């Protein structure tokens, strides 16, 4: 009897425990739940501030447009030539990075040369040697201009090759009744010619180049 009584008590307690579990779960579910914390919203990445673009130089090109006498400051100059000028030849890339592009005729590309040129001031008679100056950015063309030098046929000196200079730079040799094509990247230009020894023929040819233009020069021991 006592054994059965203990079994009944255990069964009764077990039933009461089972009955209480759903009620406890129900009470737990009825308790107010704390609101879920909102997820942190990541801020959109801010674009990096645009850095100002520094102006870049168009390139280094030779020019004699601003060349003046070192004694009196006048621009009234006569070209004597490269003969007797003091100083050594300078490789084109050493001073003007784009000088090698000046000669459009591939047959003449090996002939360009940068030499000191001797000038004489016609105002004070001072003689001086100088290399070309560097063109300013506002003097440089956006598109180079093509120059065609025509050496017309002449019986005088017909067997001698003449040297053509653009802005103080030798751009090539030209034979009798032949043409030499080259480029200029500057607006204001000066062309002169020397014999095979570097002595300049009288006179110079000056012109203002246009973007993408063409300049034809006729020469027969003087500019025509």
CA distances from 206 to 135, 190, 191, 216 (A): 16, 4, 6, 12
Q: Is the residue at 50 inside a domain?
A: no
Q: Is the residue at 110 inside a domain?
A: yes
Q: DSSP string of the chain?
A: -HHHHHHHHHHHHHHHHHHHHHHHHHHHHHSPPPPPPPPPPPPPPPPPPPPPPPP------EE-TT---TTT----EEEEESTT--S--B-HHHH-TTGGGS--SGGGGGG-EE--EEEEETTT--EEEEPPEEPPGGGEEEEEEEEEEEE---STTTTS-EEEEETTEEEEEE-TTEEEEEEEEESEEEEEEE-TTSBBPS--EEEE--TT-EEEEEESSSB-
Q: Which residues contact 51 (CB under 8 A, 6 or more apart)?
A: none
According to DSSP, the β-strands at 214-219 and 140-151 are: parallel
Q: Is the residue at 90 inside a domain?
A: yes
Q: Is the residue at 98 inside a domain?
A: yes
Binned at pLDDT 50, 70 and 90, residue 107 comes out as very low
The pLDDT, as a whole number, for residue 211 is 97
Mean pLDDT of 158-176: 90
User: Which of 33-42, 101-110, 124-133, 201-210 is the least confident region?
Assistant: 101-110
Q: Is the residue at 113 inside a domain?
A: yes
pLDDT higher than threshold 50 for residue 192 = yes
Q: Is the residue at 47 inside a domain?
A: no
The pLDDT, as a whole number, for residue 83 is 76
Mean pLDDT of 191-214: 95
pTM given for the model: 0.68
Q: Is the residue at 75 inside a domain?
A: yes
Q: What percent of the chain has pLDDT over 90?
A: 46
The pLDDT, as a whole number, for residue 55 is 39
User: Which of 2-6, 61-65, 141-145, 210-214 is the least confident region?
Assistant: 2-6
Mean pLDDT across the chain? 76
Over residues 1-43, the pLDDT tens digits come to 544 544 455 555 554 555 555 554 555 555 556 555 656 556 6
Binned at pLDDT 50, 70 and 90, residue 115 comes out as confident
Binned at pLDDT 50, 70 and 90, residue 87 comes out as low
Domain count, the chain: 1
pLDDT: is 79 or 37 the higher one? 79
Q: Which residues contact 199 (CB under 8 A, 6 or more apart)?
A: 80, 81, 83
Among 31-40, 102-111, 131-140, the range of highest mean pLDDT:
131-140
Q: Is the residue at 6 inside a domain?
A: no
Nearest CA to 126 out of 199, 90, 176, 75 is that of 75
User: Which of 3-12, 121-130, 160-169 is the least confident region?
Assistant: 3-12
Domain of residue 169: give its range. 62-219
Binned at pLDDT 50, 70 and 90, residue 217 comes out as very high
C-alpha to C-alpha distance for 75 and 66, rounded to whole angstroms: 8
């Amino acid at each position: 009897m006592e054994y059965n009584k203990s079994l009944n008590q255990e069964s009764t307690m077990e039933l009461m425990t089972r009955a209480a579990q759903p009620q406890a779960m129900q009470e737990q579910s009825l308790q107010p739940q704390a609101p879920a914390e909102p997820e942190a919203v990541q801020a959109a990445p801010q674009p990096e501030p645009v850095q100002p673009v520094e102006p870049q130089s168009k390139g280094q090109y030779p020019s004699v447009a601003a060349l003046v006498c070192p004694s009196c400051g006048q621009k009234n100059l006569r070209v004597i030539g490269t003969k007797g000028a003091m100083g050594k030849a300078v490789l084109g890339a050493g001073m003007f990075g784009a000088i090698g592009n000046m000669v459009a005729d591939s047959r003449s590309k090996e002939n360009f040369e940068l030499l000191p040129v001797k000038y004489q001031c016609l105002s004070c008679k001072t003689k001086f040697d100088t290399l070309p100056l560097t063109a300013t950015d506002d003097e440089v063309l956006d598109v180079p201009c093509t120059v065609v030098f025509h050496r017309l046929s002449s019986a005088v000196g017909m067997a001698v090759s003449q040297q053509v200079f653009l802005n103080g730079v030798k751009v090539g040799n030209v034979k009798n009744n032949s043409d030499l094509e080259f480029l200029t990247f500057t607006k204001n230009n000066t062309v002169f010619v020397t014999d095979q020894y570097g002595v300049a023929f009288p006179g110079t040819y000056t012109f203002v180049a246009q973007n993408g233009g063409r300049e034809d020069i006729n020469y027969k021991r003087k500019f025509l």
